Amino acid sequence: MTMTTEVHLHHDDPDTVGSRERFGVALLIVADIAFVFSLVFTYTYLRFLNTDGAWMPEGMVAAAPGETWLVTGAMILGLVVFALGARDLKAGKQPKFRRAAWIALVLSIIALVLQIQQMRNFNFSLGEKGYFAGTYSSSMMTLAGANAFHLTLTAIITLGMANRARLGKYNEPTSWQPRLATYWWLWVTISAVVVGLMTTFLVASPSLPSMGT
């Protein structure tokens, strides 16, 4: 006896898939906002606390803000290019989005390289056990590392968008994936600007060294 099994594959409609993925991206951004907020809070808290004068020990050189703004400038430019490309796609101009996505990808990679270079250029002294001497240096390295992580994800996401555009996957003006990528670009750029302003204008501790207990 021969038995035949029929398998029926169920596919959600594009609107349902889009809604689910938009919700997922929203959760990712909210979680990342909480993470970045915790880093910003830690930086400002340690700066005001300045226990035993350990925020910036004597002789420590603060990071040059120019490098921070080079990275941030590349991110702002990438955001503008990608967002304009997504707007062109909505208007049915797929080739313009394809070019914009590749340009934004290059800018995200440039920003990532600049960020790594800045981390290598940090002139922070090390303590006896090989750790950074001072909470300022540790905070700066953590913030820079978080931004490098942001840029790595941004480059991967933008590469996916650019490749799908090359394959003609975004011929429909209602394509929602590039719009989600624009939200991510917007968030990571805002976080870079906030951190850049903080680390440019809030460097030296306003408090006298407090004694730890």
The per-residue pLDDT for range 41-54, each reduced to its tens digit, is 999 999 999 888 88
Evaluate whether residue 181 is within a structural domain: yes
Evaluate whether residue 109 is within a structural domain: yes
Residues 6+ apart with CB under 8 A from 73: none
pLDDT at 207 over 80: no
pLDDT at 1 over 60: no
Quick: pLDDT tens for 69-96: 999 999 999 999 999 999 999 888 889 9
Residues 35 and 146 sit within 8 Å (Cβ to Cβ): yes
10, HSE (Cβ side, Cα atoms, 13 Å): 3
CATH number at residue 133: 1.20.120.80
Cα gap 23→16, rounded to integer Å = 11
What is the span of the domain harbouring residue 113?
63-201
Evaluate whether residue 15 is within a structural domain: no
Evaluate whether residue 19 is within a structural domain: no
pLDDT at 111: 98
pLDDT at 15: 61
Evaluate whether residue 48 is within a structural domain: no
Evaluate whether residue 121 is within a structural domain: yes
Secondary structure of the chain: what % helix, strand, coil (to 5)?
70, 0, 30
Q: Counting every residue, how long is the chain?
A: 213
Evaluate whether residue 55 is within a structural domain: no
Give the least confident one: 90-104, 113-127, 193-207: 113-127
Residue 110 vs residues 97, 101, 146, 155, 184: alpha-carbon distances, Å: 20, 14, 16, 10, 18
- The C-alpha torsion from 174 through 176 and 181 to 186, rounded to 10°, is 70
Q: Which two tokens stand for residue 76?
A: 């702002």
Residues 6+ apart with CB under 8 A from 16: none
Evaluate whether residue 156 is within a structural domain: yes
Q: What total of structural domains would you count in the chain?
A: 1
